[in-house]
Amino acid sequence: MSAFDDLLAFQRQTEALSSVAERLGWDQETVMPRGAVEQRSEEMAAMESVLHERRTDPRIGEWLDQAQAEDDEDQRILDLIARDFHRAARIPARLAMELARQTSLAQGIWADARANEAPQDFLPTLNDILMLKREEAAALADGGDLYDALLDDYEPGTTQAEIAALFDAMRPRLVALREDVLGAEYQPQALKGDFPQETQLRLARACATAYGYDWTRGRMDIAVHPFSSGRWQDSRITTRVVETDPFNCIYSTIHEVGHSSYELGIDSDYAFTPLGRGVSMGAHESQSRIYENQIGRGRAFSGWLYQRMSDAFDGLSVPDADAFYATVNRVTPGYIRTEADEVQYNLHIMLRFDLERDLIAGRLDTDDLVEAWNTRFLKDFGVAVDRPANGVLQDVHWSVGLFGYFPTYALGNVYAGCLHAALRAAVPDLDRFLAAGDAGPAVEWLRENMQRHGGLYPPRELIERATGADVSELPLLDYLEEKFGAIYRL
């Protein structure tokens, strides 16, 4: 066995163990008895300990020194392993353990503080985590920018300067579009009615099938916060049901099908290697967004959905497929990121991006975070935050140490805009299929041009290879203006 083979055999087992750890997380959120919380936390900690030991195993350094790549694919595998190894090696074991311990505790403290509308109960904990993350960032940055070092975990190769420039370019057109839309004379109706759980789930399954979700390699369960989990031969989705709002279930499902499809679409030869997973959070989100928004909330697919829902619920409160299309794309003022429409979503991200950059840079103290959030929200959205659960306490991310994660959602939207433009050019009659409830040709194009490559290319290169053009915010902005201009009759 060569050093390369030894390294890959070792990595293969690490990948398998990491997949097991992820499966435990799925189990916890879907089927685990509620009395098993402490036990599961000890099981997860044991898995993390094994994984940490493997990721920092000094033999990896020796194999990397000796391994020879025979082609670009092998070289990329070596680069990805080296990247993870050097990142892991830079973080002292004490810090890694302390971060794992604190973030595990903080999640519960955050949830209680949110339920009690009591940010003061959470902010000291958040400060502890922030200090640990700054320490981690300093260890990783090695003299460079702290925020960039964290961002690199989620969107390798991207910098905050690039993202700031992108967001600066997006903001004026998004703000103007929102103003026009909210001030328009025509306002779409909300959907009214009562929508039984079983029917919603049946429809959600039909939607997943419409996108070619492979039920022999996946399944759907209910979770409080929908997520997708797993890869290769087993990527599962979850959804939730709100009996007054069927779109919650349906579009959550389609979103998660996007994530799972990406994992299931990766070349099976890459399984158990670092190429065998989505290359970045932004790339991942591009798939969930294009499935959910550009395709799922488009006129053609929503027309099919209108018919299916009318049949399933024995009539709907909106009169026809055009009105329904407007309804699924309705823009309303709101506090919550996860409930935001396509027009306003990225503005929610920009707020978080700026605040977390200030926190990491030490320009903002957690003591001043509530005020900073509320001031900024009023400025950006023209509405005062009414209560902490609708403001700074709404997202779990910071409590679990996810600083640098938020901008990847907006990057995903930008990538989705680029991919959608290229997809439409490549498959001009796509709407004909979508109108019949068949997203197959869209999925096939995405699979062929993007998903199958897994981790082979860095994120930006991946999108540029797929689209044949530079990554740019323009396709997304053009799409939004055209779509919402038409819906709101601007």
Q: Quote the tokens at residue 350.
A: 């920009």
Locus of tokens 């070596």: 78
The helix or strand, by DSSP H or E, that contains position 457, with its residue range, turns out to be none
Assess 138 for contact with a second copy (CB under 8 A). no
How many angstroms separate the CA atoms of 399 and 106, rounded? 6
The answer to whether the annotation marks 259 as part of a ligand binding site is: yes
**15, 136, 256, 356: which one is catalytic?**
256
What lies within 8 Å, CB to CB, of 7 at 6+ separation is 60, 63, 64, 67, 78, 81
Residue 455 near residue 279, CB atoms below 8 Å: yes
Site for a second copy in 15-44 (CB under 8 A): 16-17, 19-20, 23-24, 27, 31-40, 42-43
Would you say 36 or 131 has its CB closer to a second copy? 36
Assess 111 for contact with a second copy (CB under 8 A). no
Assess 50 for contact with a second copy (CB under 8 A). yes
Residue 150 near residue 404, CB atoms below 8 Å: yes
Q: State the distance between the two ends of the chain, measured CA to CA, in whole angstroms.
A: 67
Would you say 50 or 100 has its CB closer to a second copy? 50
Report, in angstroms and rounded to the nearest whole number, the Rg of the chain calculated over CA atoms: 23
Q: Is 62 a catalytic residue?
A: no
- Residue 252-271 contact track with a second copy, rule CB under 8 A, x = bound: -------------------x
- Residue 216-255 contact track with a second copy, rule CB under 8 A, x = bound: xxxx------------xxx-x-------------------
# residues contacting a second copy (CB under 8 A): 38
The helix or strand, by DSSP H or E, that contains position 388, with its residue range, turns out to be none
Assess 101 for contact with a second copy (CB under 8 A). no
How many angstroms separate the CA atoms of 344 and 285, rounded? 17
Min CB(271)–a second copy separation in Å: 7
Q: Quote the tokens at residue 484.
A: 């919402």
Min CB(374)–a second copy separation in Å: 40
The helix or strand, by DSSP H or E, that contains position 229, with its residue range, turns out to be strand 228-229
Q: At 116, give phi and psi (nearest 5°).
A: -95, 5
Min CB(49)–a second copy separation in Å: 6
Assess 56 for contact with a second copy (CB under 8 A). no
User: Which residues make up the interface to a second copy (CB under 8 A)?
Assistant: 12-13, 16-17, 19-20, 23-24, 27, 31-40, 42-43, 45-47, 49-50, 214-219, 232-234, 236, 271-272
Catalytic residues: 256
Indicate the annotated binding residues for Zn(2+).
255, 259, 285
